[in-house]
Amino acid sequence: MDKVIDIEERIPTLRERRRKRTNRKFLALLFIFLIILTVLVYSQTKYSKIQSLTVNGEVLYGEEEYITASKLDIGASMWSFSTEEVEEEITKLDWVKEAAVNKKWLTGVEITVEEYPSIGYLEKDAGYQKLLANGYAVELPVDNVDGPIFTNFGSEATRLELSAQLDQLDPEVSNMLSQLILTEGETESANVTLYMTDGNEVRAKLNSLAEKLDYYPSLTAQLEDGQKGVFDMEVGITFRSYDDVYGPPKEVSEDEETEQP
């Protein structure tokens, strides 16, 4: 026989369940309301604004260049920008290889940049410009030239090929470069003349420079003491002393030395 349940006995239980369900809904709505209120209050305080902008890794240009490129300002909302978009804006700078932007705590933004390395100095009519590995010539005055000088590299294509060749060179050889002159042509296979810090001259093709020049230390080791001259690496590799190339040094008499123009 089926058990008969009195509905009157279940009413208190149903009321209790309904009350608990109502309380849960109320608490959920209250929680959501408090979160919205907190966000609204927070957005109106200084703790939601950018209070510090820092830059790390800058060498070629000061931090103001990077802050300007980021389009961020002190006092702007911390949540009004995407770090990825700011990174993209900064890497549009010709001398920037990579950039990373991070939000620090609640009010700070940190920008970290990696600039292209310098490979030497581009000779210009008005002086020198620092030349970077991506072929960009930095438009800032140079007070001190402490690396190789590159002459006649007006073409971006030849500057990029130059950078690629120098990147392949052994550091020992790179440190011996004093000046590199593009003497003929405007393409990757242009002729170049190099003046080395040890007093020798090298003639080569730009697009095979690294391949040939890496032999330089072993070649100079075969020269007699004090012997200097020209290494021709355009096709094979040959050496001629300066006397053979330019003739013996001209003797100057004492009268010629003291003669006034």
Query: pLDDT digits over 1-18, tens only?
Result: 555 555 555 566 666 677
Rounded CA-CA distance 112/252 in Å is 60
What is the distance, to the nearest Å, from the Cα of residue 49 to the centroid of all Cα atoms in its chain?
30
Token pair recorded at residue 166:
């120098």
Q: Is 170 helix (H, G, I), strand (E, B) or coil?
A: coil
| Residues paired with residue 123 on neighbouring β-strands, in sequence order | 128
Stretches in the chain below the pLDDT threshold 50: 257, 260-261
pLDDT at 261: 43
Rounded CA-CA distance 105/163 in Å is 41
Q: Supply the pTM of this predicted model.
A: 0.76
pLDDT at 153: 94
Rounded CA-CA distance 43/79 in Å is 9
pLDDT at 27: 75
pLDDT at 34: 66
Close Cβ partners of 25 (under 8 Å, ≥ 6 residues apart) = none
**Cβ pair 167, 181 in contact under 8 A:** no
What is the distance, to the nearest Å, from the Cα of residue 78 to the centroid of all Cα atoms in its chain?
27
Rounded CA-CA distance 96/66 in Å is 10
Using DSSP bridges, classify how beta strands 238-241 and 229-232 pair: parallel, antiparallel or unpaired. antiparallel
| DSSP element (H, E) containing 69 | helix 63-70
Please state whether 28 falls in left (phi above 0), alpha (psi between -120 and 50) or beta: alpha
**Cβ pair 119, 163 in contact under 8 A:** yes
pLDDT at 229: 95
User: 59 vs 118, 122, 139, CA distance in Å?
Assistant: 11, 18, 14
**Cβ pair 56, 112 in contact under 8 A:** yes
**Cβ pair 102, 83 in contact under 8 A:** yes
**Cβ pair 200, 230 in contact under 8 A:** yes
User: 236 vs 205, 208, 219, CA distance in Å?
Assistant: 11, 11, 13
Length reported for the chain:
261
